[in-house]
Structure 1
Amino acid sequence: MTGKPNIILIITDQQRVDTINALGAPWMKTPVLDKLAREGAAFTNCYVTSPVCVGSRASLFMGQYPHATGVFTNFHPWEPTWVKSLADAGYHCVNIGKMHINPYDAKGGFHQRFFVENKDRPLFLDEHPRALYDEWDKALHARKLEKPSRYTRHAADPEGYQRALGAFPWHLDEDMHSDMFIGDHAVWWLKERRSEAPLFLQIGFPGPHPPYDPLPRYLEMYQDVDIPVPEVTAEELAAQPRSQGQLRNNMIRNNYDSVSWTDQPSREDLLRIRRHYAANVTMIDDKVGEILKTLDEKGYLDNALVIFTSDHGDALGDHGHIQKWTMYDSSVKVPLILWSKNGVVPRSSPALVQLMDVAPTILEAAGLTPPKAFEAKSLWPILNGDVTDIRQEVWSELARDHIQTGAEYMVMRRDTKWKVVYYLGEDQGELYDLESDPGELRNLWTSPDHRDLRDSLVHEVLVWQLRGAIASRQQVTPKPQQPMLI
């Protein structure tokens, strides 16, 4: 083993920030993530650059905001830019699970990819241009099992499908659940590996992205657990921009990811969905524990940086919404934990950071200088205790796609007190006082008392956009330096 640290990056899909017991969610059962959070550095205000999978992941693996990457929706083609730099520096780079590269099977700078994509997606090329059989599809076929999907579930029980709202306990072999499959695959691969090269291992769990489909034994763990659910008022819905109403209607009319949404879910409906979702997270927590145990037994953790995060959140009924595509914290705020045996001082940081800030943090840990074109900022100044924050505000962007059809483009600016969401070419928007209204329930966009503040913040958004438009996109190959001591 060389002096370079092993780097393990674990990314879940669509995991809210309030899903880890040790970080303020007492209803959650997450002993492994709790341990990482207590012993490592937990960033409690980490924001994604876009509330959709591909836009967020492209920023993370390219180090720039969507306006610079050009990746705004789940259909834009993209590949990582800095993984190859790790490979060129001597790292063995491997991806197991979901990364959402487009095309799905692109190498993306990795030496090996065992890719698994969304749990519920079309499979046939004449039905969907990106359809492809992945490692999980092949395993299910080898077992002669039919993968559950929106099509099979609806055909079997149309009325039950509508009532389920995306929550379906897993009924096939336990090890054929996508999150179990990826966790087991990672453990198997690690046990088989013989290389002495430093390892960059990216593991992508498809959950807790819908369908919310935990194993029954995990769902039983939450049978009587009281999980907070929102109370959405007519006043709150009336104050939302028109495009949000269009998004809700799209979710009701269609059944994206096996979720057949409803305009007024009951408290019991929301509690059932959230129990399924929480059980999905606990399943992943168990698998992360098995992966870490294997890494430790193989000696990888003696010199390693482990990072756990997610690509965006899930409304789960907050503000009348399901899934993502909005700029509420439940959609754009994610967990971020960095842990190592001997190099990360245990701390909980409330600093505003962006998920893409993980990129220069990894490169510097590997002894590489991040590209000058990066808009991402290294977390090491905070981790080392040199500063308390690296950003005064965070940003997120979203463009129109086949699901969010209302807004041509929206951008969020958030600081420690105010959040503004600007909708291009529209007279409506969002403004929240996060100190007095952390739940983002009172939209102050039309408040006469806040008009000057709103206009000032919108001006900042427009200036930020113009500066981004003229900024150089030239990529600079990372240059070797001394590896960060972990």
Structure 2
Amino acid sequence: MRRPRQPDVVLILTDQQTADAMSATGNPYLRTPAMDALAAAGTRYPNAYCAQPLCTPSRASLMTGRLPSTVGVTGNTGGPEDPLLGRLFTEAGYDCGYGGKWHLPELDLPEGRGFRRIHPAGGDDAGLARAAAEFVRAPRERPFLLVASFLEPHGICEWARGQDPRTGPLPAPPPTAELPPLPANFPVAPYEAALPRLAERAQPHTHPTAAWREDDWRRYRHAYYALVERVDRHIGQLLKALEGRDRETVVVFSSDHGDGAGAHRWNQKWALYEECVRVPLVVTGPGVAAGAVDERLVAAGLDLIPTLCDLAGLTAPQGLSPGLPGLPGLPGRSLRSPEEHASVVVETRWEIPGFNNALGRMVRSGRHKYVCYAWGDHREQLFDLTADPGELVNLAVDARHAPLLDRFRGLLAEHCAAVADPFARFVPRATQ
């Protein structure tokens, strides 16, 4: 139902941007003035996790408010039956526009998804920025919801294979001494899980890094940051179009998932490293604290729809059962809710011929993070992210942490039972 003076809403998505690839986070190796301006105008959430570090499953979660396994979209094929976001806002009287990458599973937005397409997918981020600016400037009598889904920095996938990104070639890299340094967690850690490495070797086209030397990884990081800066400039064009009305507009900025960015000698996504699963998340708008950093745990896929509906003053349409505050019937909650998540879960799956049950789950609660893969050596990982933010010390192999390990096994088992997650059969039983 519409309420008077409902705000316009803009959702800006990048593709494959890890949470710390913003200068607002203190990263000195890139400049992102548009993203930084959003962070200064609103609240940044540094502990926001995607639902799955892969495009289609993550986007399915963002558009439905449910986990990928719940809606049956765990790979880059298939799409959810009801992409809820557009329908909710259309039924509430919003003019809903969508531009750029859809990928559910079609790259371009098809008919009947609650949005009208304002710009196609395909890598023309500059054209998307212009179309989005025209959309927000257009005169209209009703509020609007705009989703601007940019492609970059996904072009790092092509760059790693020696190809030009779809948005255009990058300049030649600078001399080695001027490249970003290797991350502190660049080395492969002891007791690392075997499954991601086996998947890496099975996909040399996706992971063409076996023979890379340290300088190759530094050039990778430079190219990745350059692509983030490229998309930041396009985001800046959209924000310029909102000048004068930005205080009355809800703007949410995030990404579908992250990228290894050289941590653990990893490029691409899939793995449950922090760089792959933690995403940027900034919220601005009426009633949102400016220049704030909120450390709460955020399940980005589950919490997006409740948050947007809460900020827009929408209530759920009939047909959704009672649930948590923000939007009845969905497992997420608004970021304005005083009740925070005690834990968040991230899923992953590799679709590789011959790799059966190439699955994993991650649970973050408090300062600790638990990772469980379905099979392989050292399939359980346990980290203290406060003492070890680079995930280099696997506490799961130390008997002194057995009670903590059992606690996280229990958390994952409870989650799987609550959502009928078939991963339940791979969760080890508590030993104590």
Per the shorter chain, which TM-score range? 0.7 to 0.9
Q: How many residues align?
A: 396
Match of 1:271 in 2: 218
Match of 1:373 in 2: 329
**Among 117, 121, 132, which residue is 1:113 paired with?**
117
Query: What 5-or-longer segments of structure 1 have no aligned partner?
Result: 118-135, 137-176, 382-386, 471-486
**Among 46, 58, 61, which residue is 1:59 paired with?**
61
Match of 1:182 in 2: 128
**Among 287, 301, 305, which residue is 2:234 paired with?**
287
Whether contact under 8 Å (1:243, 1:407) holds in the other structure is: no
Distance in 2, matches of 1:395 and 1:404, equals 26
Indicate yes or no: 2:410 matched with 1:442: no
Distance in 2, matches of 1:18 and 1:222, equals 24
1:199-278 matches, cutoff 5 A: 199-209=144-154, 210-212=157-159, 213=165, 225-230=178-183, 236=189, 239-252=191-204, 255-256=205-206, 261-278=208-225
Q: Report the CA distance shift for 1:194/1:263 in structure 2 as closer, same or farther (over 3 A).
A: same
Match of 1:75 in 2: 77
Q: Report the CA distance shift for 1:417/1:40 in structure 2 as closer, same or farther (over 3 A).
A: same
1:206 alignment partner, SS class: coil
- CA displacement 1:202-249 (0-9 Å, x = unmatched): 00001101324376687779997542423677762x522221121220
TM-score (norm 1): 0.75
Whether contact under 8 Å (2:15, 2:153) holds in the other structure is: yes
2:146 alignment partner, SS class: strand
Distance in 2, matches of 1:244 and 1:43, equals 27
Indicate yes or no: 2:35 matched with 1:85: no
**Among 341, 365, 370, which residue is 1:420 paired with?**
370
1:15-26 matches, cutoff 5 A: 15-26=17-28
Match of 1:473 in 2: none
Shift in Å, 1:81: 1.3
TM-score (norm 2): 0.84
Indicate yes or no: 2:11 matched with 1:41: no
Shift in Å, 1:332: 0.4
Whether contact under 8 Å (2:180, 2:218) holds in the other structure is: yes
Distance in 1, matches of 2:275 and 2:254, equals 14
- Pick which of 221-230 and 81-90 moved more: 221-230
Q: Report the CA distance shift for 1:33/1:422 in structure 2 as closer, same or farther (over 3 A).
A: same
Query: What 5-or-longer segments of structure 2 have no aligned partner?
Result: 160-164, 317-326, 422-432
Q: Report the CA distance shift for 1:376/1:233 in structure 2 as closer, same or farther (over 3 A).
A: closer
Whether contact under 8 Å (2:16, 2:152) holds in the other structure is: yes
- Pick which of 323-332 and 354-363 moved more: 354-363
- Pick which of 74-83 and 30-39 moved more: 74-83
Shift in Å, 1:445: 2.5
Whether contact under 8 Å (2:119, 2:127) holds in the other structure is: no
Distance in 1, matches of 2:175 and 2:283, equals 28
1:291-440 matches, cutoff 5 A: 291-296=238-243, 300-340=245-285, 342-346=286-290, 347-356=292-301, 357-370=303-316, 371-381=327-337, 387=338, 390-402=340-352, 405=355, 407-424=357-374, 428-440=379-391
2:84 alignment partner, SS class: coil
- CA displacement 1:126-170 (0-9 Å, x = unmatched): xxxxxxxxxx4xxxxxxxxxxxxxxxxxxxxxxxxxxxxxxxxxx
RMSD across aligned positions (CA):
2.7
1:472-483 matches, cutoff 5 A: none
Letter in 1 for 2:24: A
- Pick which of 267-276 and 370-379 moved more: 370-379
Q: Report the CA distance shift for 1:273/1:116 in structure 2 as closer, same or farther (over 3 A).
A: farther
Q: Report the CA distance shift for 1:232/1:440 in structure 2 as closer, same or farther (over 3 A).
A: closer
